[in-house]
């Protein structure tokens, strides 16, 4: 299993937008890789349409999006027509073909010993290939979420997490439960009170000695 903080495995693959070398593709950007067990599956169809509609929101945050499904790229291209027809949005990001299962195995979504190729495999065979990864510009994994096949993913939540990751990387803060962009944040334990006075001259609230809550006036609020 991959761990948060680990370098995301590199790979070369064919996609619906041409061949990519993953580490080169994400160079200097945040990235989201989200995977699917099979083409022409109903829940995944809705998810791909949702991400297509939200592409502008990912772009605003400097985040590249890429999908993966264990089927050939030619099937992805046929599936994209169904997605546009049923979801009202054309897929506007690349989709990786992983017919030899190598990427799914390297990223811990299928056991390394899984035999064969995508041919003849059912969605149930690939049910663990339903993971969202958020990767930072330094190519480390910052988030991974695995979903069952029967539960569609909430990409507004993925955007919320990205807002938190980008904010906390910049300001040495953490975000509380149910935080949304523009809300109060928590000064991390790695920042001493003396350093905090310099970083946060506006001051902070201390409901408990281990809780220092502050508002960041220069942190932009996302819609």
148 is catalytic: no
Residue 219 in this model has a pLDDT that exceeds 70: no
Catalytic-role residue among 33, 44, 65, 187: 44
Q: What percentage of residues in the chain have a pLDDT greater than 70?
A: 97
Contact indicator for 104, 113 with CB cutoff of 8 Å: no
Mean pLDDT for the stretch of residues 18-31: 97
Map tokens 């569609």 to a residue: 152
54-87: pLDDT as tens digits: 999 999 999 999 999 999 999 999 999 999 999 9
User: First CA to last CA across the chain, in angstroms?
Assistant: 34
Give the separation between CA 77 and CA 71, rounded to whole angstroms: 11
Tokens at residue 1, please? 């299993």
176-214: pLDDT as tens digits: 999 999 999 999 999 999 999 999 999 999 999 999 999
What average pLDDT does the structure give for the chain?
Answer: 95
103-113: pLDDT as tens digits: 999 999 999 99
Tokens at residue 53, please? 């509609």
Contact indicator for 36, 66 with CB cutoff of 8 Å: no
How much helix, strand and coil, in percent to the nearest 5, is found in the chain?
30, 25, 45
| pTM (whole model) above 0.75 | yes
Q: Give the per-residue pLDDT at 1.
A: 78
Q: What is the DSSP string of 118-143?
A: STT--TTTTTT--EEEEE-TTSBEEE
Give the separation between CA 149 and CA 130, rounded to whole angstroms: 7
């Amino acid at each position: 299993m991959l761990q948060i903080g680990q370098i995301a495995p590199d790979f070369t693959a064919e996609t619906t937008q041409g061949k990519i070398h993953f580490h080169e593709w994400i160079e200097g950007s945040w990235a989201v890789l989200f995977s699917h067990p099979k083409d022409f599956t109903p829940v995944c169809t809705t998810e791909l349409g949702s991400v297509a509609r939200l592409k502008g929101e990912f772009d605003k945050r400097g985040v590249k999006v890429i999908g993966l499904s264990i089927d050939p790229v030619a099937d992805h291209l046929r599936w994209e027509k169904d997605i546009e027809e049923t979801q009202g949005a054309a897929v506007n990001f690349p989709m990786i073909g992983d017919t030899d299962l190598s990427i799914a195995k390297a990223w811990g979504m299928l056991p390394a010993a899984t035999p064969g190729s995508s041919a003849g495999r059912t969605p149930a065979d690939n049910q663990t290939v339903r993971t969202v990864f958020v990767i930072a510009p330094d190519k480390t994994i910052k988030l991974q979420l695995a979903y069952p096949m029967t539960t569609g993913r909430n990409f507004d939540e993925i955007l919320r997490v990205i807002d938190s990751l980008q904010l906390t990387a910049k300001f040495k803060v953490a975000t509380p439960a149910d935080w949304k962009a523009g809300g109060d944040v928590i000064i991390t334990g790695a920042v001493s009170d003396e350093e905090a006075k310099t970083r946060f001259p506006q001051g902070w609230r201390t409901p408990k000695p281990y809780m220092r809550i502050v508002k960041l006036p220069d942190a932009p609020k996302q819609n």
